[in-house]
Amino acid sequence: MKALSDCTILVTPSSFGRHDPRLHSVLAESVGEVIRNERGRPLTSDELRDLLPGCDGYIAGQDHIDAHALQQADRLRVIARYGVGVDRVDLAAAQARGIIVTNTPGANADAVAELSIGLMLALARQIPQASQRTRGGEWPRLSGVSLAGSVVGLLGLGAIGQSVARRLQAFDCILQAHDPFITSDQAQQLGVQLVELEALVANADFFSLHLPATPDTVGLVDADLLARMKPGAFLINTARGELIDEAALYQALQSGHLRGAALDAFREEPPAADNPLFSLPQVLVTPHMGAHTAGAVNAMGWGALNDCLAVLRGDPPKHRVV
């Protein structure tokens, strides 16, 4: 086995080490060479394919890690995902090449939960619109919606969904969730009532998505589901853009069936400037920044770094996916 000091590591997340320079120094002192992503954005399959030859380890952001890119991974032993999602990693192709894939579950749960609740409040009280109009010289009387007494529906009750639920207990809202992997006892400890998906869709005043993108969940929020949502409800997505049929969401918002939506993730990232959803004032958009707090970025950085180095040393990683 090659000595760790002779290994080459590819690092693509632009925020890696931004708030803790020790991540850079520990990595540089541990391995022979570090290759960085100079583009400041996730890499395409072709771009990644050009960088992977000769790399032993890979600390990966939201790059497109498909079989095409991995064909050139002649020495790669580990892909350490900087975050929890592995939907952009071809796990079967990695496994076929003997590449271990890890992630950092829970590292960004609190940060994403905080943004989810912030977006709920911004929608409920029309905060962006109020700020913009007041700055423009108006003094509008905008009517908002209170979270107290409202039904907040959480689709997915994993680490992030649970973090949202714990925080929302203080808002005196009615918490419901659908997640087949959570027991009623677990939900009860969070003050959450588990319901079937149909009931959640029909009941929620605020419908918040906390699912990974998988073959079963991609496109789940389609025209049919949106039509079954409560009239005047709000949709919040801080998970994955692939969950939503954006054209169907546009129609549901333009027709007035939904009152508003807040989106931190899109099918195409970055989204095109002429994305039809951008034309609707009742849509709030943010640049997939849910995990981007100093604490979350540091936790993801150390988790990915430690597992990457562990595999290259021949030790078992803490959070192995495949």
* Residue (of 312, 260, 314) closest to 6 by Cα position: 312
Same domain, 38 and 187: no
Q: Does residue 318 lie within any of the structural domains?
A: no
Active site residues: 240, 269, 288
CATH assignment at residue 136: 3.40.50.720
Q: Does residue 43 lie within any of the structural domains?
A: yes
Same domain, 173 and 258: yes
Contact partners, residue 156, CB within 8 Å, separation at least 6: 177, 178, 179, 209, 210, 211, 239
Same domain, 62 and 129: no
Same domain, 165 and 265: yes
Phi/psi region, residue 198 (left: phi>0; alpha: psi -120 to 50; beta: rest), is: alpha
Same domain, 103 and 65: yes
Same domain, 243 and 152: yes
Same domain, 139 and 251: yes
Domain that holds residue 180: 109-285
Q: Does residue 9 lie within any of the structural domains?
A: yes
Q: Does residue 321 lie within any of the structural domains?
A: no
Q: Does residue 254 lie within any of the structural domains?
A: yes
CA atoms within 13 A on the CB side of 159: 14
Tens of pLDDT, residue by residue, the chain (322 residues): 789 999 999 999 999 999 999 999 999 999 999 999 999 899 999 999 999 999 999 999 999 999 999 999 999 999 999 999 999 999 999 999 999 999 999 999 999 999 999 999 999 999 999 999 999 999 999 999 999 999 999 999 999 999 999 999 999 999 999 999 999 999 999 999 999 999 999 999 999 999 999 999 999 999 999 999 999 999 999 999 999 999 999 999 999 999 999 999 999 999 999 999 999 999 999 999 999 999 999 999 999 999 999 999 999 999 999 9
Same domain, 140 and 226: yes
* 21 token code pair: 């320079």
Q: Are strands 233-237 and 283-285 parallel, antiparallel or unpaired?
A: unpaired
Same domain, 300 and 215: no
Q: Does residue 212 lie within any of the structural domains?
A: yes
* Residue (of 293, 300, 290) closest to 118 by Cα position: 290
User: What is the pTM assigned to this prediction?
Assistant: 0.91
Same domain, 55 and 180: no
* 93 neighbors 66 (Cβ within 8 angstroms): yes
Same domain, 33 and 169: no
Q: How many domains does the chain have?
A: 2
* 145 neighbors 173 (Cβ within 8 angstroms): no
* 286 token code pair: 């943010």
Same domain, 28 and 156: no
Q: Does residue 278 lie within any of the structural domains?
A: yes
